[in-house]
Structure 1
């Protein structure tokens, strides 16, 4: 770990997002309580309220995932802001991406190595790696502390099925590595532009990092 990286025990403090989560949760409680009142009124239907609650829960899940993602990344890299900008830009352009962030457990033994990079993390460099047509864009980037270690790496694929969806190779690779290590693996879908991260074998949508 390079000098300046906060220890894994550092407090997770992203106060604005945390406060917004509290507000949203309180609103959700109010919505559910309101639905219970509607349910007791035979002249009203609760189905519309339930659909609204489902939509808000999906957004709330994304906000919560964003908050915890920052918490998971911050002790291991000072460059999570660059990662945030990179993922947002790639998502907007629908450029597929796969970024493995090493934490406590070394990843070298589980990754088929690609092309060494050995450069400091910047979002323009990461975006250029995943630009369509770049020879390195199809594999995974390996991040260690504040460095882009390598690109075009091959990650182990998961056999997991998430819900009823058939996962693409990037998402299966993200989950596969997270099943075997404590790594955080960021992924952007080139089909939908949606961004998510894998952690401990689960995939979580994010709205931003």
Structure 2
């Protein structure tokens, strides 16, 4: 997917249509506020749920846009994180972009293997000696596994944020890398970029 694909993709058009639908719902609620007998709390809850769905769809859209210039293995990565999410196998996948990461990570085990979803999933299978660290991806290759990333200092006191998420934030605070995280506890998939964490829905 190149930049033109991102600009005119069906996914983007669907997100824009969802936003228009929410705007219409908000306008209808604004008009309905004049009727004091009309309780809008249920409607507000539905709008909130729609916002969350739009956010996740938008994050999925931007993830594809951010990855496409740097790897042709988007489908393999997507399949792997979906399968890991279903099985609740934790994962941490670093996609190198322009910045060198050599000075930022503690190197793990060199692999230099073609990126496939089956190889990614096997690396993060519980009990595999490599599953606790991060996989490093450069272009279409898994360069290494069991890499140790710098942790974000901003979230030291946040017990709800696991080590994988703090590591994803820590690396993206210091580089332009994109880091995918699969939560072992919940199965939720997120990606980190520029020191921010975004939940995504790759099944959408």
- Smaller-chain TM-score range? over 0.9
Counterpart of 2:144 in structure 1 is 150
Runs (5+) with no aligned partner, structure 2: none
TM-score scaled to structure 2, two decimals? 0.94
Name the CA distance, whole Å, in 2 between partners of 1:25 and 1:152. Answer: 41
Q: Which runs of 4+ in 1 moved over 4 A?
A: none
Name the CA distance, whole Å, in 2 between partners of 1:31 and 1:38. Answer: 10
Once the 2 structures are TM-superposed, how far is the Cα of residue 161 of structure 1 from its aligned partner?
A: 3.6
Counterpart of 1:93 in structure 2 is 87
Q: Which of 49, 69, 73 in structure 2 is aligned with 1:55?
A: 49
Structure 1 residues 197-208: aligned runs within 5 Å: 197-208=191-202
Structure 1 residues 1-209: aligned runs within 5 Å: 10-14=2-6, 15-161=9-155, 166-208=160-202
Pairwise CA RMSD: 1.6
Name the CA distance, whole Å, in 2 between partners of 1:206 and 1:12. Answer: 22
SS in 2 for 1:190: coil
Runs (5+) with no aligned partner, structure 1: 1-5
Residues 1:12 and 1:108: Cα distance change in structure 2 (over 3 Å): farther
Once the 2 structures are TM-superposed, how far is the Cα of residue 12 of structure 1 from its aligned partner?
A: 4.5
TM-score scaled to structure 1, two decimals? 0.92
Once the 2 structures are TM-superposed, how far is the Cα of residue 166 of structure 1 from its aligned partner?
A: 2.3
Identify the range of structure 1 (164-173 vs 43-52) with the bigger mean alpha-carbon deviation.
Answer: 164-173
Residues 1:57 and 1:165: Cα distance change in structure 2 (over 3 Å): farther
Question: 1:157-200 CA distances to partner (integer Å, 9 max, x unpaired)?
Answer: 002249x7720000000011010001100000010000000011
Name the CA distance, whole Å, in 2 between partners of 1:130 and 1:123. Answer: 11
